[in-house]
A and B are shown apart, each in its own frame.
Chain A
């Protein structure tokens, strides 16, 4: 068996808040293979973005830290790497696109200059070579008339085009892993479909592995092979996408799928009420307690759920669910 590209082992990230130290990521383990697309799903405040920042070595300084566990990238432990080594890896090997294409670009530089800066810093290209390459990259993300548009400022572009610029920048150094943190939430659905097409093509052409962070189960089903459902900093369920959608083993996964009105192949007159997941994600204060953190919102709750944190239950088909009742679900 070949070694996984990225291997996260028992990761625990602690955030220092006024109320004390809270584990925002609590014992998370997963692997990402070469050319694989894995997806993180969950509501806001469940630790999806925090996991991404940890992999990038971009945890908020002085507030967040890796308390235990390892992040192995090609066998190298990133949690022990020096700052300069991390700077090397970021952009070159692992890069990230953010949710808000409006605020992630610098408004006072042209998009061409911003892409060229990445190339000059990481690949040591000359200013002219970097500028040429920036235009090629804009062309690769299908911005029409790329050479001229490289001289545009971010405000001269539409939301979809800005997100393409972000992707061009993230791909400038041909990274092995691309982390996309809700890349399409601010975009219209037809533009979202174009961005997804683009990511799919890039992955096919360059073999880049993709970590997609989203809350849209539809997007997961279209884009990823495996998904990780996170709840309150913990793994709720992990496994192959098709299987989990057909038969979720964790009540939270089940809730996430059935609480959204999906467009099905054939619609009928029948429109039953949506299944509600009552309540909201618990606050940081409750993170790390030795019980199932989802119990307060769960219909399957028993005495045991409130007493002890559920271990991961493994199934033969590769699904892994952290629930006391996973087998009966």
Chain B
């Protein structure tokens, strides 16, 4: 079957235990990711956007089996990977790799660049030494580093070059899915463009699938085929790039988009700023109803009573808001 998605996440929940009031405080639970479902087709890019604390990075970590999920399913190519251990998990790790946000702290300062890239080959494959070297040589060319730079240590590289090493490392085991967690937010603007272009070229070349975590909506609209917006651990809206950006349905998505400063005069003239005052609610003691209701400019009494389900409306967008009509008309 070819139309099966590469990644299918169903009802994923990640729960952390927190103690309030010191060591003897009551143990409470915080669902950083709360019943998140999405699918990602092979060769496509899905962005998860949201503000700090929305659970986007935790979702990515759970998909990569880097934090333990509390419940739900994460299917890679049709097989659930959440229960895997030992050799089976090692096989999956070859297929799912991670590019980290901070190119300074995500490379071992005592390893030479080529050894950083070799690491996943050593721990995840049984590739013979001479073949490893061939793979590393090729990777350095593909990410735009010079062969003589293989022997250098991370501190001898600039931020953009370090991120290239991180990308080479993620590509080493020929993965199918690469999770990019804010891959350019630590870089200078001019260097960001270099890395974004590289990521797009590699995706075309190797048919890669990206799960792209970012808070920069400009970058997201450039890189992604579809976008999931998270708020307080839940997906509030999920849709294809053009419909989500040109016709946001959820009030939070609309507010988020309206807050992005733009160089485009036409867009500045057309955008009405939607204010969302206040702070998100306490994630341990969530209020009943919609989590966004206390900041939502159009909230109705029903929003404070029942939590809206994520449902598909006309046009194919998924949205969790009582006030969006079935025909896909936004309340704002």
Which residues of A line the B interface, CB within 8 A?
Answer: 43-44, 144, 158-159, 188-194, 196-197, 215-223, 242, 245, 255-257, 259-269, 271, 273-278, 280-281
Smallest CB–CB gap between B101 and chain A, Å? Answer: 14
A193 and B264 contact, Cβ closer than 8 Å, known pairs A260-B218, A267-B241:
no
Judged by a CB distance under 8 angstroms, whether B234 is at the interface is no
| Residue from the set A188, A194, A261 with the largest chain B CB neighbour count within 10 Å | A261
Query: Are A271 and B263 in contact, with the CB atoms below 8 A?
Result: no
Residue of B nearest to A142 (CB): B277
Smallest CB–CB gap between B152 and chain A, Å? Answer: 16
Smallest CB–CB gap between B60 and chain A, Å? Answer: 18
A215 and B189 contact, Cβ closer than 8 Å, known pairs A265-B267, A280-B160:
yes
Query: Are A273 and B200 in contact, with the CB atoms below 8 A?
Result: yes
Query: Are A274 and B222 in contact, with the CB atoms below 8 A?
Result: yes
A190 and B259 contact, Cβ closer than 8 Å, known pairs A266-B246, A274-B197, A276-B197:
yes
Per-position 1/0 for B255-289, Cβ under 8 A of A:
11111111111111010010111110000000000
Separation of A217 and B190 alpha carbons in the complex (Å): 12
Query: Are A221 and B189 in contact, with the CB atoms below 8 A?
Result: no
Query: Are B190 and A255 in contact, with the CB atoms below 8 A?
Result: yes
**Top 10 closest pairs, chain A to chain B, by CB:** A261-B222, A218-B261, A259-B193, A193-B259, A188-B51, A277-B190, A265-B266, A265-B267, A274-B193, A43-B188
Judged by a CB distance under 8 angstroms, whether B158 is at the interface is yes
Separation of A131 and B246 alpha carbons in the complex (Å): 48
Task: Report B-chain residues with C-beta under 8 Å of the C-beta of A274.
Answer: 193, 196-197, 222
Separation of A265 and B192 alpha carbons in the complex (Å): 22
Residue of A nearest to B270 (CB): A265
Separation of A265 and B217 alpha carbons in the complex (Å): 14
When the two chains form the complex, which single residue of B52, B158, B193, B221 contacts A267, counting CB atoms closer than 8 Å? B221
Number of B interface residues, CB 8 Å? 46
A257 and B192 contact, Cβ closer than 8 Å, known pairs A188-B51, A280-B158:
no
Query: Are B264 and A265 in contact, with the CB atoms below 8 A?
Result: yes
Smallest CB–CB gap between B302 and chain A, Å? Answer: 24
Query: Are A261 and B266 in contact, with the CB atoms below 8 A?
Result: no
Judged by a CB distance under 8 angstroms, whether B242 is at the interface is yes
A190 and B215 contact, Cβ closer than 8 Å, known pairs A266-B246, A269-B242:
no
Smallest CB–CB gap between A200 and chain B, Å? Answer: 11
Judged by a CB distance under 8 angstroms, whether B191 is at the interface is yes
Q: Given A218-B260, A261-B223, list of 6 further CB < 8 A pairs? A: A189-B217, A193-B259, A220-B263, A276-B193, A280-B158, A280-B190
Query: Are A245 and B267 in contact, with the CB atoms below 8 A?
Result: no
Task: Report B-chain residues with C-beta under 8 Å of the C-beta of A245.
Answer: 263
Separation of A219 and B278 alpha carbons in the complex (Å): 22
Task: Report A-chain residues with C-beta under 8 Å of the C-beta of B158.
Answer: 280
Separation of A158 and B278 alpha carbons in the complex (Å): 11
When the two chains form the complex, which single residue of B52, B197, B257, B262 contacts A273, counting CB atoms closer than 8 Å? B197
When the two chains form the complex, which single residue of A189, A219, A273 contacts B215, counting CB atoms closer than 8 Å? A189
* Residues in B188-234 with C-beta less than 8 Å from chain A: 188-194, 196-197, 200, 215, 217-219, 221-223
Query: Are B218 and A263 in contact, with the CB atoms below 8 A?
Result: yes
Task: Report A-chain residues with C-beta under 8 Å of the C-beta of B104.
Answer: none
* Residues in B163-189 with C-beta less than 8 Å from chain A: 188-189
When the two chains form the complex, which single residue of A189, A215, A269 contacts B260, counting CB atoms closer than 8 Å? A189
* Residues in B109-152 with C-beta less than 8 Å from chain A: none
Separation of A44 and B245 alpha carbons in the complex (Å): 30
Task: Report A-chain residues with C-beta under 8 Å of the C-beta of B223.
Answer: 261
